[in-house]
Amino acid sequence: ANYGFPEDFDALQASGVSVEGAIVLMRYGKCFRGLKARNAEGRGAVAALIYSDPAEDGFGQGSVYPEGPWRPPSSVQRGSIQFISLCPGDPSRAYLPAGASEELCGYSQSQLIPTIPVLPLSYADAAPLLRSLGGPEAPAPFRGALNLTYRLGPSAGGVRARLAVRNRFEKGPVWNVIATLRGTLPEAEDQPILLGNHRDAWVYGAADPNSGTSQMLEVAKGLGALLKRGWRPRRSIVLCSWSGEEYGF
């Protein structure tokens, strides 16, 4: 289903391909992964797979790791697939009384996360599934950079896929570290300046937050040196080291 846009599903339907009761294969890019899951679910899919096509994130862009910065064949992009376009933030609203989520943003927790299983795939693992597809040849906007004929589906030759997930719903603490430099302005006139960055990584070894965190720490060191000399800002400055950046993940 290409990028999983509504118009991509419309194109499949116009070609006589129904995704109802099927596992939908989509590629990363162009829109948030949660929208891809939501669109597949809304069209009646029983599950979804989202893979990184090398056209956008791999050898189609340049040399792959370790020779270059682009995604190698076995690499998988992970991330939250909750429906943040409906209501962002912790979908459980764990800090509020039970049922308060719906009152706060108009949706319950069950409406903010997919009801179908969804898994990410590398392009090495997506290739056999793409090769198994029958149906009409995909139009140019649906094609990626893999050395195969992209087709719209469904699977040909009786090929079936079985998808299993082992998800656990758990609540955990989120630790935000906040440092406040009080300004000289009266509280009624103060307009605090917030500078923040998340410091949590999605998985072990991830470098996602480190560049922003290092810059914020350097700013903090500079402000600390000024404070030791007796300097005070007019407006309050708040430095925020956020945890829980990828809520719902």
Cα four-point dihedral sign 220, 221, 222, 227:
positive
- Burial classification of residue 39, based on how many CB atoms lie within 10 Å of its CB (0-12 exposed, 13-18 middle, 19 or more buried): buried
Tell me how far apart the terminal alpha carbons of the chain are, to the nearest angstrom: 24
- Residue 39 and residue 160 in contact, taking contact as beta carbons nearer than 8 Å: no
Q: Is 246 a catalytic residue?
A: no
Tokens of 222: 């500079």
Please state, in angstroms and rounded to a whole number, the distance separating the CA atoms of residues 98 and 128: 45
Distance CA 218, CA 215 (A): 5
- Read off the tokens for 178: 């906040």
Kindly state the helix (H) or strand (E) to which residue 119 belongs, with its residue range: strand 118-121
Bridge partner list, 179: 239
Rg (CA), the chain: 23
Q: Are 146 and 54 in contact (CB under 8 A)?
A: yes
What span, in angstroms and rounded, lies between the C-alpha atoms of 29 and 189? Answer: 44
Place of tokens 């923040």: 196
From 41, 187, 189, 245, active-site residue: 245
User: Which are the catalytic amino acids?
Assistant: 245
